[in-house]
Chain A
Amino acid sequence: MTMPDEVAAVQRLLVALDTARDSRDVIELAAEYAARLNAELMGLFVEDTALLTLAALPCAREVRLASARAKRISVPTVERQLRVRESATRSALEAVARMRKVSWSFQVTRGRATSVPLEAAPEIDLIMVTAASWRLVRRVGVYGWRPGPSRILVTFDGSAEGRRALEVAGQLADGAAVSVLVPAIGPRIRQRLMRQAGTILGARGVRPRFRKIKPGNLSRVIQVVGDNPAALCVIACGSKVLGGRPVEELTSRLRVPAILVRPVRA
């Protein structure tokens, strides 16, 4: 049995933050993952240009969540509100990172919330994205819930990124059930991939289950993932499972957090 090639350790985890996402939940989750991976946590707050476009429209209406009252919306108001949110998000990130003893940094950028994080610098190893949430009232916590996923789905196609995705999934598992999504290509190759994945995860005490996915069948991936909020997807950006389709096409439809594994640098 051949041992898989060694992959470089993860150094940086970027978490994408914007007004459509529940920042505090996302930050806590990201900090937990960064701590487990021993990686630096980088917060990237995206000022969504769609919001600013909307604010410039004369017919746009905003309904306040705290009062259900409708107001006209304006660009200066939105920009001011964004600054407030940025500041609050930065403070939250700092507090959580300090508590978790994780090194951290924070940046603000402007663009489309769904695509900007994926254009991050190549030295970013992992990018964490979460689904936009309709949850307007914070969830009431339940004693006994532990941060971290109860179920992990990870793509593996034998590539270096794939191996890193498995490493990440193995590190974050901590008792969670791990399902490996392998491309439905020739049975021999698939068997080999399953053996490799079994070896990598087995080294971390994880015994995975396997799902074959026809390359590019994103609907099937979404179906397999489901909408369990305690689930986590670990996806290699160039995985053959995606069948060459952009990863944001998948992440925009996912209802669970996802960690995207960037190509491994030489």
Chain B
Amino acid sequence: MPVKPLPPQALKRRSDPAKLGFATTADLKDLDEPLGQERAVEALRFGIGIRSRGFNLFALGPTAIGKHATVRQFVEREAAQQPTPPDWCYVNNFADVHRPKALQLPAGLGAKLQKDMEQLIEELRTAIAAVFESDEYRTRRQSIDEEFREKQGHAFEALQKRANERQVALVRTPVGLALAPMKDNEVMSPDDFQKLPQEMRQGFEATIGELQKELQETIRQIPRWDKERREKVRDVNREVTEFAVGHLIEALRHKYRELADVVAYLNAVQEDVTENVTVFLAQSQAEEGQTLPQGAEASAAAAATPIAAAAPAILRRYQVNLIVDNSATKGAPIVYEDNPAQSNLVGRVEHIQQMGALLTDFALIQPGALHRANGGYLLLDARKLLTHPYAYDALKRALQAGEIRIESPAQMYSMISAVSLEPEPTPLSVKVVLLGERDIYYLLSAYDPEFAELFKVEVDFDEDVDRGPISGNSYSRLIATLVRQHKLRDLDAPAVARVIEFSARLAGHSRKLSIRRGLIGDILHEADYFAAEAERTVICESDVQAAIDARIRRADRVRERSQEQILEGTVLIDLEGERIGQINGLAVLSLGNMSFGRPNRITARVRMGRGEVIDIERQVELGGPIHSKGVLILGAYLSATFAPDRPLSLSASVVFEQSYSGVEGDSASSTELYALLSALAELPLRQSLAVTGSVNQYGQVQAIGGANEKIEGFFDLCRAKGLTGTQGVLIPDSNVKHLMLRDGVIEAVSAGKFHIYPIRTIDEGIEVLTGVPAGKRGRDGRFPDGTVNRKVEDRLIALAHARRAFGAGLPAEGT
């Protein structure tokens, strides 16, 4: 039975607006649950609910499918039921400024502590300045200084007196003190000294020698006296400071008495203020435009924090760097980090440039997304995470260690050498959800053993849903939901039906609907634009169609040029007549968002040989492995079908004509086989037909991808040249369910001007292409005379004989 072309109704499964059961999408409720994602939703519920370590989630699926929105919806629901996590601050570590301390406070108290410390600093400055300006303090200080001065003065005056009594002067020099003989209360001149008797000169020298020892002993005592003085000053300062500071800090200690870490920090602050009181004094004086007190003993500890060494910022050491403020957070936080660079994940230590050097302190610690999401959920795009250097490793380290350690890659790998910090790590409790394409998930699973340990929950999103009646209704609600989410005009029922058909085409299947929300949302936006242009309040079918057409038009340039080349005869494609060994194949080109079918001439030549079918594409490395596999199957088919008991003595070559780029896929293997059979049987093929479909060793034609695009591609070419009524496409029968063709094609088919043949076997296809029966082996083991297969077999037998004769030097036998 010759194959009959498909009826028009088989070319597209239409959606009947009348059966949708609503007038416009305004009549429909929003979807409560994601459509067609039962598996993903189940995994999400499990992954979000389970608290065990390592049960982080990877939401995988194609882009624009609504992964992010779905994950967010479920996470928000769960987060609202959870307690608000604590605030986190970094404060100065007075014992080691390079290792700032992390403080944890109940949510909302971090900001209060920060404010309290700012106020404390102000109060301390005032209180300390007041006590140090008091007459009591001045008197005590001056008394200590005076005591030192007197001790020093008395020692030298006594020495001077003893020296003068022995006619020796004690004189200040630029670097010390000098002893010299005197005369008339003045230093003796060298001439007078030389005039002295020898004994007197020796006497002076001996006296000066003795006095010199005394002088040295006195000078050696000065540092000890000064140390005593400084200790006394320090004791007075400490006593006065404790008096001024104690009650202020005590008030804070009482306020935060439940928080042991904060109390310990306040104790450290009090100790540090007492030790470094001059820091406050210097700051106050600097602000008043005064010079620092002479010899102001800004402590070594104060100067150890480089930023603090700058006078205006000297009090930074007592600030609180609030890195996580959950005062306004309700429930657990949900953080989506759009730019998951390493520093944006684990935080960073910033530097400021000062006098040509890069300096930092705890106040320059910046939190990362992990800090903000701590106690809640962190959503990350897997592709972005992997494309940022060190980010994925940093995330894994944090999850494995259960703590956030702020580390700079530059420091880790010694790329820069600047003063930096090692902030105390903060404990981490977070549920991470990575979102990405399936390829990324499978690659990470295959190549990163740690991945499976850390992301144990696979949330696999489907990209399409079965197109049953219930789904149809749900799908209408999905459209209504998107319309409201994007604040678009409502769609009437025919428009919804058209979107459903468009969705089926996106799914590439008449019984499936695409649930790629992003793509559906885009077409709704575009339809809304056309509705607005037409001043309509509701989106109509024509608006949806206009949007689809406009989208095709925008991306159609390459397809047009390609078709133009065929019509002009630059690329040789025959659409009429018959040719031996020549056939129209169909390829799909995908460029950006546009996929279209393009005919390709395929030719085959045969001659005597050793049984090989030469794939010219493969010989020049333009054919991919799947294409080569398809061609090798042809040889196997020929051998098994026509030469089961004799050598296949042909050499055949198959080529995609005018193909200058790579060819991949096996969707043209049946087409190549038809060309080969034509060449062997010397039967011409109809050039008004194009063919797609792969073939197996038994001659069964198998499904291929892009059937719609291929048919439309050939149809467009035929229409451009003029539909003759003989033109059409051979497709695998198993692809019929995928057909969602354009209305133009369907109209032509309805009018009998274009035909689509569903093909199950090579025999069916060759009959359509040649108009000659394929033929089945009879009881005599031969194909009937006049059939395609008989002609092929005869030709192969002839080639075998010829080869044998050629090998033995005998004339070839006829068949």
Q: Which chain B positions have C-beta within 8 A of A108?
A: none
Is the CB of B156 closer than 8 A to any CB of chain A? yes
Q: Which residue of A lies closest to B295 (CB)?
A: A140
From residue B245, how far is it (CB to closest CB) to chain A in Å?
15
Compute how far the CA of A55 lies from the CA of B176 in the bound complex, rounded to whole angstroms: 13
From residue A37, how far is it (CB to closest CB) to chain B in Å?
20
Contact between B145 and A68, CB atoms less than 8 A apart: no
Q: Which residue of A lies closest to B214 (CB)?
A: A63
A97-141 residues with Cβ-Cβ distance < 8 A to B are 99, 132, 134-141
Contact between B293 and A145, CB atoms less than 8 A apart: yes
- What 0/1 pattern do residues 24 to 57 of A give for CB contact below 8 A with B? 1100000000000000000000000011011111
Contact between A61 and B208, CB atoms less than 8 A apart: yes
Contact between B219 and A141, CB atoms less than 8 A apart: no
Contact between A82 and B229, CB atoms less than 8 A apart: no
Compute how far the CA of A61 lies from the CA of B296 in the bound complex, rounded to whole angstroms: 34
Given A60-B179, A70-B212, A143–B173 Cβ distance below 8 Å? no
Compute how far the CA of A59 lies from the CA of B233 in the bound complex, rounded to whole angstroms: 41
When the two chains form the complex, which single residue of B180, B204, B220 contacts A54, counting CB atoms closer than 8 Å? Answer: B180
Q: Which residue of A lies closest to B292 (CB)?
A: A141
Q: Which residue of B lies closest to A255 (CB)?
A: B153
Contact between B190 and A142, CB atoms less than 8 A apart: no
Contact between B189 and A53, CB atoms less than 8 A apart: yes
Q: Which chain A positions have C-beta within 8 A of B291?
A: 99
Q: Which chain B positions have C-beta within 8 A of A1?
A: none
A130-167 residues with Cβ-Cβ distance < 8 A to B are 132, 134-145
Q: Which chain A positions have C-beta within 8 A of B186?
A: 50
Is the CB of A177 closer than 8 A to any CB of chain B? no
Contact between B215 and A63, CB atoms less than 8 A apart: yes
Q: Which residue of A lies closest to B140 (CB)?
A: A142
Contact between B216 and A70, CB atoms less than 8 A apart: yes
Contact between B145 and A139, CB atoms less than 8 A apart: yes
Compute how far the CA of A164 lies from the CA of B157 in the bound complex, rounded to whole angstroms: 36
When the two chains form the complex, which single residue of B149, B179, B188, B296 contacts A141, counting CB atoms closer than 8 Å? Answer: B296
Q: Which chain A positions have C-beta within 8 A of B142?
A: 142
Is the CB of A247 closer than 8 A to any CB of chain B? no
From residue A26, how far is it (CB to closest CB) to chain B in Å?
12
B347-380 residues with Cβ-Cβ distance < 8 A to A are none
**Number of chain B residues whose Cβ lies closer than 8 Å to a Cβ of chain A:** 59
Compute how far the CA of A134 lies from the CA of B154 in the bound complex, rounded to whole angstroms: 9
When the two chains form the complex, which single residue of A56, A84, A134, A136 contacts B190, counting CB atoms closer than 8 Å? Answer: A56
Contact between A134 and B174, CB atoms less than 8 A apart: no
Is the CB of B776 closer than 8 A to any CB of chain A? no
Contact between B193 and A61, CB atoms less than 8 A apart: no
When the two chains form the complex, which single residue of A55, A56, A57, A139 contacts B149, counting CB atoms closer than 8 Å? Answer: A139
From residue A155, how far is it (CB to closest CB) to chain B in Å?
27
Contact between B216 and A63, CB atoms less than 8 A apart: yes
From residue A71, how far is it (CB to closest CB) to chain B in Å?
8
A224-256 residues with Cβ-Cβ distance < 8 A to B are 229
B132-159 residues with Cβ-Cβ distance < 8 A to A are 132-134, 137-138, 141-142, 145, 149, 152-153, 156-157
Given A99-B291, A136-B219, A85–B181 Cβ distance below 8 Å? no
Contact between A54 and B281, CB atoms less than 8 A apart: no
Q: Which chain B positions have C-beta within 8 A of A139?
A: 145, 149, 294-295
- What 0/1 pattern do residues 202 to 236 of B give for CB contact below 8 A with A? 00110011001001100110110010011001000
When the two chains form the complex, which single residue of A59, A69, A82 contacts B174, counting CB atoms closer than 8 Å? Answer: A82
When the two chains form the complex, which single residue of B141, B156, B204, B219 contacts A59, counting CB atoms closer than 8 Å? Answer: B204
Is the CB of A65 closer than 8 A to any CB of chain B? yes
Contact between A81 and B173, CB atoms less than 8 A apart: yes
Contact between B229 and A140, CB atoms less than 8 A apart: yes
Contact between A81 and B132, CB atoms less than 8 A apart: no
Compute how far the CA of A61 lies from the CA of B178 in the bound complex, rounded to whole angstroms: 5
From residue A53, how far is it (CB to closest CB) to chain B in Å?
5
Contact between A140 and B294, CB atoms less than 8 A apart: yes
Is the CB of A20 closer than 8 A to any CB of chain B? yes
Contact between A144 and B138, CB atoms less than 8 A apart: yes
Given A63-B176, A138-B295, A143-B132, A54–B187 Cβ distance below 8 Å? yes
**Number of chain A residues whose Cβ lies closer than 8 Å to a Cβ of chain B:** 44
Q: Which chain A positions have C-beta within 8 A of B222?
A: 65, 136-137
User: Chain B interface mostly helix, strand, loop or mixed?
Assistant: helix
Q: Which chain B positions have C-beta within 8 A of A66?
A: 175-176
Q: Which residue of B lies closest to A62 (CB)?
A: B178
Contact between B220 and A68, CB atoms less than 8 A apart: yes
Contact between A57 and B193, CB atoms less than 8 A apart: yes
Given A50-B186, A139-B295, A19–B174 Cβ distance below 8 Å? yes
Is the CB of B297 closer than 8 A to any CB of chain A? yes
Is the CB of B177 closer than 8 A to any CB of chain A? yes
Is the CB of A185 closer than 8 A to any CB of chain B? no
Compute how far the CA of A62 lies from the CA of B169 in the bound complex, rounded to whole angstroms: 12
Given A61-B212, A137-B226, A140-B233, A50–B177 Cβ distance below 8 Å? no
Compute how far the CA of A57 lies from the CA of B196 in the bound complex, rounded to whole angstroms: 13
Q: Which chain B positions have C-beta within 8 A of A186?
A: none
Compute how far the CA of A102 lies from the CA of B546 in the bound complex, rounded to whole angstroms: 84
Q: Which residue of B lies closest to A96 (CB)?
A: B291
Contact between A51 and B233, CB atoms less than 8 A apart: no
Contact between B156 and A134, CB atoms less than 8 A apart: yes
Is the CB of B264 closer than 8 A to any CB of chain A? no
From residue A30, how far is it (CB to closest CB) to chain B in Å?
15
Q: Which residue of A lies closest to B221 (CB)?
A: A68
Compute how far the CA of A78 lies from the CA of B172 in the bound complex, rounded to whole angstroms: 11
Given A70-B216, A73-B178, A142-B142, A134–B171 Cβ distance below 8 Å? no
Is the CB of B285 closer than 8 A to any CB of chain A? yes
Contact between B205 and A68, CB atoms less than 8 A apart: no
Is the CB of B604 closer than 8 A to any CB of chain A? no
Q: Which chain B positions have C-beta within 8 A of A132?
A: 172
Compute how far the CA of A144 lies from the CA of B134 in the bound complex, rounded to whole angstroms: 8
Q: Which chain B positions have C-beta within 8 A of A188?
A: none
Q: Which chain B positions have C-beta within 8 A of A24?
A: 294
Q: Which chain A positions have C-beta within 8 A of B204?
A: 59
When the two chains form the complex, which single residue of A19, A55, A59, A84 contacts B205, counting CB atoms closer than 8 Å? Answer: A59
Compute how far the CA of A50 lies from the CA of B184 in the bound complex, rounded to whole angstroms: 13
Q: Which residue of B lies closest to A25 (CB)?
A: B294
When the two chains form the complex, which single residue of A65, A84, A85, A140 contacts B176, counting CB atoms closer than 8 Å? Answer: A65
Contact between B176 and A64, CB atoms less than 8 A apart: yes
Contact between B174 and A81, CB atoms less than 8 A apart: yes
Contact between B219 and A84, CB atoms less than 8 A apart: no
Is the CB of B201 closer than 8 A to any CB of chain A? yes
From residue B779, how far is it (CB to closest CB) to chain A in Å?
123
Compute how far the CA of A243 lies from the CA of B227 in the bound complex, rounded to whole angstroms: 46
Compute how far the CA of A24 lies from the CA of B133 in the bound complex, rounded to whole angstroms: 23
Q: Which chain A positions have C-beta within 8 A of B296?
A: 141, 143
Contact between B226 and A19, CB atoms less than 8 A apart: no
Contact between A53 and B190, CB atoms less than 8 A apart: yes
- What 0/1 pattern do residues 1 to 18 of A give for CB contact below 8 A with B? 000000000000000000
Compute how far the CA of A80 lies from the CA of B549 in the bound complex, rounded to whole angstroms: 97
Q: Which chain B positions have C-beta within 8 A of A137?
A: 152, 222-223, 226
Is the CB of A187 closer than 8 A to any CB of chain B? no
Q: Which chain A positions have C-beta within 8 A of B190?
A: 53, 56-58
Contact between A138 and B294, CB atoms less than 8 A apart: yes
Contact between A63 and B177, CB atoms less than 8 A apart: yes
Given A20-B172, A60-B179, A60-B180, A140–B230 Cβ distance below 8 Å? yes
Closest 6 CB pairs of A and B: A141-B293, A141-B294, A81-B174, A144-B133, A20-B172, A60-B180
8 additional A-B pairs beyond A20-B171, A50-B169, A140-B145, beta carbons within 8 Å, are A64-B175, A65-B222, A99-B291, A134-B153, A135-B152, A136-B152, A143-B129, A143-B284
**Contacts A/B (CB < 8 Å), 5 sampled:** A54-B169, A56-B190, A57-B188, A70-B212, A143-B278
Q: What residues make up the interface of B, taking CB atoms closer than 8 Å to A?
A: 129, 132-134, 137-138, 141-142, 145, 149, 152-153, 156-157, 169, 171-181, 186-190, 193, 201, 204-205, 208-209, 212, 215-216, 219-220, 222-223, 226, 229-230, 233, 278, 281, 284-285, 291-297
Q: What residues make up the interface of A, taking CB atoms closer than 8 Å to B?
A: 19-20, 24-25, 50-51, 53-66, 68-70, 73, 78, 81-82, 84-85, 99, 132, 134-145, 229
